[in-house]
Structure 1
């Protein structure tokens, strides 16, 4: 699960009141993701949550990034705050992998790949927000690391329906696109 944290997907979070939040609600992303998580756990799949976060003084935050440079001033993505917690509807388990990233890709300077390899993971099933950022970055980086990649289209959202559709179309050659209802986690 990619960036399904309160700052981005909760109705009361900063993005919850904007276009991304509108798409999360309109597409039923939280409910579909919770259902997909239940199916994955029932099938015995390893579950992981990726969150973007920065320490209290934002030392890891790139000051020239169009994506992250405004976070310190807005108080976004501060580790230990409500905003960086995974949305409560998704229910993080004790054995779930937890990855904190400081850039768009969850593979960049994190322990994600080490944890995946240690657990014998060869297929990554991903979903989250936003499709045009973390989902695309995950798909491309995982593909180049020789993982089989599946994207649950109906558990992803972008800032508009068109942006989501464009993003899914651009990554189809690197992954398999499925719906959470149709995908067999076993």
Structure 2
């Protein structure tokens, strides 16, 4: 089953999850309190040991933010604050989760990891049918991946202890809505 699965570590970039990143005040406290950093390191190690592919999904934009739609309250805020700029420290994967040679690097310009990215062709080419999901935010990229993955006929597994929202309520509310589309488990049980 490992060769038919991929662990997607989503939006675990410095701008969002590094204590000194722009989003550090939003996600870092809950990630620290819930052990998300340690759990994600353990999940990545377990996936690699099982021969499972690891992919890193990163939100990012050109230096001039040409991909940001003026209608998006999320991404116009990023543009206005100068974050999620590709080629900068902020869009690099957090060091503890650093990619290795052979890992997939999927850059996205929207919430969904599927929209306008290389993810679908990668999954098809590799014969992957099962998505194991970790990342921030639970109500953002994780939710989008589960819903779209489900509708594309993938088996979706959420590593609950490798995800966070800006608040515990946000995280739990998102999970409550996703349980009908995905298995919810932990870093030690996938």
Following superposition, the deviation at residue 116 of structure 1 comes to 0.7
Gaps of 5+ in 2: 1-8
Aligned equivalent of 1:178: 185
The structure 2 residue matched to 1:67, chosen from 49, 67, 74, is: 74
Aligned equivalent of 1:10: 18
Distance, in Å, in 1 between the alignment partners of 2:95 and 2:127 is: 28
Aligned equivalent of 1:167: 174
- 2:156 counterpart SS class: strand
Aligned equivalent of 2:3: none
- 2:177 counterpart SS class: helix
CA-based RMSD of the aligned residues comes to: 0.8
Distance, in Å, in 1 between the alignment partners of 2:152 and 2:131 is: 11
- 2:75 counterpart SS class: coil
Residue deviations 1:51-110 (CA, integer Å, cap 9, x gap)? 000001100011221111112221100000000000001120110011000000010011
- 1:169 counterpart SS class: helix
**1:81 lines up with 2:92 in the alignment:** no
The structure 1 residue matched to 2:141, chosen from 109, 134, 143, is: 134
The structure 1 residue matched to 2:98, chosen from 91, 102, 115, is: 91
- 2:158 counterpart SS class: strand
- 1:174 counterpart SS class: coil
**1:117 lines up with 2:124 in the alignment:** yes
Taking structure 2 as the reference length, the TM-score comes to 0.94
Distance, in Å, in 2 between the alignment partners of 1:170 and 1:129 is: 16
Distance, in Å, in 1 between the alignment partners of 2:183 and 2:38 is: 22
- 2:53 counterpart SS class: coil
- 1:67 counterpart SS class: helix
- Ranges of 4+ aligned residues in structure 1 off by more than 3 Å: none
Following superposition, the deviation at residue 111 of structure 1 comes to 1.1
Residue deviations 1:12-52 (CA, integer Å, cap 9, x gap)? 00111x23221111112121101100000000001100000
- 1:138 counterpart SS class: helix
Aligned equivalent of 1:45: 52
Distance, in Å, in 1 between the alignment partners of 2:167 and 2:161 is: 14
Aligned equivalent of 2:42: 35
Residue deviations 1:155-183 (CA, integer Å, cap 9, x gap)? 00001111111100100010000011122
Distance, in Å, in 2 between the alignment partners of 1:72 and 1:159 is: 19
